[in-house]
Amino acid sequence: MEMDLQINVRKNGEVHVIDLTGEVDAYTSARFREVMLELIEDGGTELIVSMANVEYIDSCGLGALVGGLKRVSERNGKIVVVTNRQQVRKVFEITGLEKVFPLFETELHAVEALKNHKSDKQS
């Protein structure tokens, strides 16, 4: 039984937010990757991936995220993740990716971190 992934893209100020709902796995991660790379190609270099409603993420989902990070890094950008779900946070911690993707409990904190990143880049 495949759980679908819903993807919604919106802006919070100058920051693009990708809201994910469902499961980010082998079946759904390609679509997530496409949306993320399209945003980056269109100039979105400050991205928040909201996993507040993600119930499950596997290595394919993490791979999509890492692929997006490689692309956004080429443009001096940054990707941060919002999640308050312990099971999702645990996957990042087990794989060591919490050191690569800053994890935030709320979107407000993520937006602030990206604003600080942007001002650090400009100075």
Q: Which of 36, 38, 39, 6 is nearest to 24 (CA)?
A: 6
What pTM does this model have? 0.93
Which CATH entry fits the domain spanning 5-122: 3.40.50.150, 3.30.750.24, 3.40.30.10, 3.30.1490.20?
3.30.750.24
Give the pLDDT score at 34. Answer: 97
Hey, what are 73's tokens? 């890094």
Residue 122 pLDDT greater than 90, yes or no: no
Quick: pLDDT tens for 18-62. 999 999 999 999 999 999 999 999 999 999 999 999 999 999 999
How far apart, in whole angstroms, are the C-alpha atoms of residue 123 and residue 110? 20
Domain range summary for the chain, segments of one domain joined by +: 5-122
* pLDDT tens digits, 67-79: 999 999 999 999 9
| Residue 1 clears pLDDT 50, i.e. is over it | no
Task: Find, among 55, 47, 56, 57, the residue nearest to 18 by Cα.
Answer: 47
DSSP assignment of 2-52 equals PPPEEEEEEEETTEEEEEEEEEESTTTHHHHHHHHHHHHHTT--EEEEEEE
